[in-house]
Amino acid sequence: MVVATGRARDLGRIIESFVAMSAHAGDKEVAEVRSAIDLTEDQRARLAAALAKVTGRAVEVKVIVDPTVLGGVVAQVGDTVIDGSVRHRLQQLREVL
């Protein structure tokens, strides 16, 4: 149906929308996490627990390996972005100094 209506390029965004809607229906959130390296299962579980505390809902972590993130992670849960990257922390230090 998506291809027939000429929206094949939008398929990725359509799938992400369905995943988010499904998570909301199950009282969950989907966190898109960008990291320079792939996270272990233990790291994913700890990150999901920390994000669950912040959001007040169960969180499913979707990790995207992004080499532009020098270190740390950048997490997006809905409209909220939590930037724990090394680049962001260095920028904060520059502003303080």
Overall number of domains in the chain: 1
CA distance 73 to 37: 9
Tens of pLDDT, residue by residue, the chain (97 residues): 767 778 778 777 777 776 666 666 566 788 899 998 999 999 999 999 999 888 888 888 999 998 888 888 899 988 888 888 888 888 888 898 8
Residue 15 covered by a domain? no
Q: What is the pLDDT of residues 29-56, one digit of tens each?
A: 888 999 989 999 999 999 999 998 888 8
Q: According to the model, what pLDDT value does residue 45 have? A: 93
Query: Phi and psi (nearest 5°) for 17?
Result: -65, -45
CA distance 48 to 57: 10
28: left (phi over 0), alpha (psi -120 to 50) or beta: beta
In which domain, by residue range, is 44 found? Answer: 28-96
Q: According to the model, what pLDDT value does residue 8 have? A: 74
Q: According to the model, what pLDDT value does residue 67 have? A: 87
Residue 3 covered by a domain? no
Beta strands in 1-97 (DSSP E): 28-35, 58-65, 73-77, 80-83
Residue 11 DSSP label: H
Residue 12 covered by a domain? no
Residue 70 covered by a domain? yes
Q: Kindly report whether the global pTM for this prediction surpasses the value 0.85.
A: no
Residue 74 covered by a domain? yes
Nearest alpha carbon to residue 68 among 41, 88, 97: 88
